[in-house]
């Protein structure tokens, strides 16, 4: 008997074999994805947190890229918190670099959170005085 395409039944690969091939391909694809994710995590750790460079990468280029990423992060914090750059003056760069070395950015954090964490770190270290508390309301004079 032929199907609507004219091919005889049973002439193609069995459904079981096709299913096994697809399952095998899916497992291989998932394993490849996991390997790639691990390699990407290793590279990011080297770039952002001073980790060991992955095999096959030029260490000098990785250092240059890590330096550029640190400068970008520092620059964004300077734009978001000009009060910190003004208060710290020439100490801003070395203090931020020290902070960044000990506090790599975490996935999902925003730059405003990073800037706030830096300000908190500065206060905790005594590099800046604690911020003045501002009243959110003003009492009205009694009538």
User: Can you give the residue ranges of every domain in the chain?
Assistant: 18-125
The pLDDT, as a whole number, for residue 10 is 55
- Within 10 A of 55 (CB to CB), how many other CB atoms are there? 7
DSSP class of residue 52 equals P
Mean pLDDT by 10 residues, the chain (143 residues): 53 67 82 90 87 89 94 98 97 98 89 97 95 74 71
Query: Cβ(85)–Cβ(78) under 8 Å?
Result: yes
**What's the CA gap between 80 and 43, in Å, rounded?**
27
Model pLDDT, residue 121: 98
pLDDT given for residue 11 in this prediction: 56
pTM over 0.75: no
The 10 Å CB-count burial string (b at 16+, else e) for 75-107 is eebbebbeebbeebeeebeebbeebbeeeebee
């Amino acid at each position: 008997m032929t199907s609507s395409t004219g091919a005889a039944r049973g002439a193609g690969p069995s459904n079981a074999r096709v299913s096994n091939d697809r399952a095998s391909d899916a497992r291989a694809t998932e394993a490849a994805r996991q390997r790639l994710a691990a390699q990407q995590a290793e590279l990011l750790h080297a770039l952002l947190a001073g980790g060991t460079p992955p095999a096959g990468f030029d260490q000098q280029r990785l250092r240059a890229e890590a330096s550029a990423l640190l400068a970008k992060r520092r620059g964004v914090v300077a734009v978001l918190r000009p009060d910190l750059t003004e208060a710290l003056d020439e100490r801003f760069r070395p203090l931020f670099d020290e902070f960044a070395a000990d506090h790599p950015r975490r996935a999902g954090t925003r730059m405003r959170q990073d800037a706030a964490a830096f300000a908190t770190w500065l206060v905790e270290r005594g590099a800046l005085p604690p911020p003045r508390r501002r009243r959110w309301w003003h009492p009205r004079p009694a009538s």
